[in-house]
Amino acid sequence: MHTVHLPDTTLAVHTPGSGLPVLLLHGFPFDHAMWAGQDPLADDVRLIVPDQRGFGRSPGPPPASIAQLADDAVALLDAVHVAEPAVICGLSMGGYVAEQVAARYPHRVRALILVDTKLEADTPEARVARAKLAATVTRVGQEAVAEAMIPNLLARSDAGRGRPGRAAVEDYLRRTIHATPVATITAALGALAARPDMVDPMRVVTVPTLLVVGAEDMITPPDCMERAERVFPRPRLLIMPHCGHMAPLEDPATFNAAVREFLREVAGPGAGLPEDDRPREPVR
Ligand code: MLT
């Protein structure tokens, strides 16, 4: 990890690999380490994996809006000298940020990968639930978020629960929620609640778009990405069996194989991305 200075904050960022730039944006309330299973992708591309402001080792101030996190993402690309359009990949909250990057800075986007996320704004009920959770976190601390989120983050089927590495993933989620400052959690809940509907802005995104969702995602279920598939001009959809809301952590091999295949198509034959003969789930 190293630190980069943006106009009004600093971000901790992990930047392994070289070549095609691929920005990985974590979900709420996690950090760059949720993408540890994607490190093998750095054999072929340049990964740029930040802790977004206020999360992980990035000090903040806490996020004021999803649009601000999108501004940070583009300022980060500038700070690490990425001038060419980058592949922007985000999970859940990171997906909302990626959508905002695509809407506000289309010339910076080579392709979009949206994972376990959605395009629609919060419903009024969801906004009330976020405000209640923020109030509870302020009163009792991060455990309120762990209790509210952890049971819904990972696949519940026997196949999902029995996956090797499941205990380590659960441990990471719990530890990271507890390590995230209360001020970041409450600010991010406000930013999530206030985010705009992105359905119309995404209709004009002309770059290739890979949509990925766990078949057992209970927070942004597969129908969110099925609706998104009808919005983007150039979509592909992968529904990952036996995965929940954290599909890249739950089954990194399947996720990475699909991303490699997508990036090979995005980069074209001259880009030096090797053929991948590992087994993978069909992408439709
Ligand atoms: C996330 O995983 O980033 C959050 O669950 C997003 C959300 O609550 O909408």
The class of domain 2-267 in CATH terms is alpha beta
pTM of the model: 0.95
187 CA to centre of ligand 1 in angstroms: 13
Q: Which residues contact 91 (CB under 8 A, 6 or more apart)?
A: 25, 26, 27, 34, 115, 116, 117, 246, 247, 248
Q: How far is the CA of 194 from the centre of ligand 1 (A)?
A: 13
Ligand 1 pocket, residue 192 CB under 6 Å: yes
Query: pLDDT tens digits for the chain (284 residues)?
Result: 999 999 999 999 999 999 999 999 999 999 999 999 999 999 999 999 999 999 999 998 999 999 999 999 999 999 999 999 999 999 999 999 999 999 999 999 999 999 999 999 999 999 999 999 999 999 999 999 999 899 999 999 999 999 989 999 999 999 999 999 999 999 999 999 999 999 999 999 999 999 999 999 999 999 999 999 999 999 999 999 999 999 999 999 999 999 999 999 998 876 667 765 454 444 44
* Backbone phi and psi for residue 218, each to the nearest 5 degrees, phi listed first: -95, -10
State whether the beta carbon of 219 lies less than 6 angstroms from ligand 1: yes
The residues spanned by each domain of the chain are 2-267
Pocket test for ligand 1, best of 130, 137, 192 (most atoms within 8 A of CB): 192
The atom number, within ligand 1, closest to the CA of 245 reads 2
